[in-house]
Amino acid sequence: MKRIFTPIVLLLAFSMKFANAQSVTKFVQPDLLETGFSNAQNLFKGYLTPWGNMFGAALNGGWYNTAKPHKLGGFDITFSANIAFAPPSASAFSLTPYVLSNVPTNVTASSPSSCLVFSPTNTITNSPTISGSTGTQVPVIDYYIKSPDNSQYYKVSSITMPSGAGLNFFPLPMAQIGLGLFKGTEIIGRYLPTVSMSGIGSIGLWGVGIKHSLFQYLPAQKLIPIDISILGGYTKLSSSADINFPLSEGGYSGLISDKTTQTFNYSGQSMNLNTSAFTASLLISTTFPIINIYGGVGYSNTETQMLLKGDYAFPTVNSSGQLVLTNSNVVQNPSGITIKNNSGIRYSIGLRLKMAIITIHADYTKDLYSVVAAGIGFSFR
């Protein structure tokens, strides 16, 4: 398994094509699954959290470029790119909650069946995340499995943690349609069709939102050139990527035999990523004919789930210290990893230019993971 993070490569391949940003196709990861699935969950989560936060922030951006809803039957079609940025504090995560300083020679039955240990030749305890620098030094950790009689641990693998990828920003393109209904209400839909790339995987998203004018209820609505609205929006993204973690590439030293009595499909492995993003905002904008300022304050919340599909082998060690694989050591469709992404209050400000039916806009959203959005659209009031 040389590209366990192919969903990242997949998502960035589409986004980078649009944004003309750096290539990530040569970014290769070590085999973190060699540490066992439960350990790999923690390591994956720590490494990917900034990416999940950037991704969620980008999904919640670009919902509006004016607070004024369309009139009944009015509509717009807008193409935009949202670029989210990770803060410097997200460039590394601590391994100390998951990795031990030493391995006890005598253990009790209550001890874990496996453990991660810092390599004695490497004392680094903070590991780069995906947004960290590519030149940062990385920790080395050893993976130990406890013997069946609980007497000792056997070292079965040594893992060098992945270096930073330098991906401290994430661009995401999408198309969006707004349609005016009645009484100052507008429904909004966004969409990125599911697209497949050979050897990488697929990606697609959809979203729905609603905007409603509050200013229409105020006595001064015809005297002041502004509009005030509320907006709520939900976006769902799904992606799938083929991965490759068969026994032949597992890197396990000392696996003596495959004692399974049933056939497992190690070639049918895939990684699915599902992200849900919700935002609610109070909007305000000017309503001049050509140039307008718009902004908003609101709340956002996102969640990313990473699911492995297929069969994965996690051998155990026998009394002689040899790795053995049995039916019970093969996990089918392992449980997923959930990244509770950054949530909280967001502040936005932007500028919109309208020339006949063409609109051009750009805005900035201030948050822990800030977002810059820009786009062009065609608006028919």
Residue-level pLDDT at 28: 34
CB proximity list for 359: less than 8 A, separation 6 or greater: 65, 76, 78, 352, 353, 376, 377, 378, 379
Give a yes or no: residue 110 inside a domain: no
Structure tokens at 71: 């009139």
Residue-level pLDDT at 195: 73
Residue-level pLDDT at 27: 35
CB proximity list for 38: less than 8 A, separation 6 or greater: 114
Contact indicator for 315, 323 with CB cutoff of 8 Å: yes
Give a yes or no: residue 142 inside a domain: no
CB proximity list for 344: less than 8 A, separation 6 or greater: 299, 300, 367, 368
Give a yes or no: residue 111 inside a domain: no
Spatial CA neighbour of 369 closest among 37, 28, 12, 82: 82
Give a yes or no: residue 252 inside a domain: yes
Residue-level pLDDT at 110: 67
Spatial CA neighbour of 365 closest among 287, 279, 302, 250: 279
Give a yes or no: residue 290 inside a domain: yes
Contact indicator for 310, 268 with CB cutoff of 8 Å: yes
Q: What is the tally of structural domains in the chain? A: 1
Long-range contacts of 97-103 (CB under 8 A, 24+ apart): 97/42, 98/39, 98/42, 98/43, 98/46, 99/125, 99/139, 99/141, 103/144, 103/153
Structure tokens at 264: 């497992």
Spatial CA neighbour of 367 closest among 278, 276, 304, 297: 297
Tens place of pLDDT for every residue, the chain, 381 residues? 334 344 444 444 444 443 333 333 333 344 566 677 778 778 888 888 888 888 888 899 999 999 999 999 999 999 998 999 999 999 999 998 888 887 666 666 667 778 888 888 777 889 998 888 888 888 888 888 887 777 778 887 788 888 888 888 888 888 899 999 989 999 999 987 777 766 556 778 899 999 999 998 888 767 889 999 999 999 998 877 666 665 544 455 555 555 565 667 767 777 777 889 999 999 999 999 999 999 999 999 888 888 877 887 777 777 777 777 777 777 788 777 777 776 788 999 999 999 999 999 999 999 889 999 999 999 987
Give a yes or no: residue 42 inside a domain: no
Q: What is the CATH number of the domain that holds 290?
A: 2.40.128
Give a yes or no: residue 156 inside a domain: no
Rounded to 10 degrees, what is the CA torsion of 174, 193, 199, 331? Answer: 100
- Domain span at residue 230 reads 6-34+50-87+169-380
Residue-level pLDDT at 119: 84
Give a yes or no: residue 145 inside a domain: no
Residue-level pLDDT at 270: 75
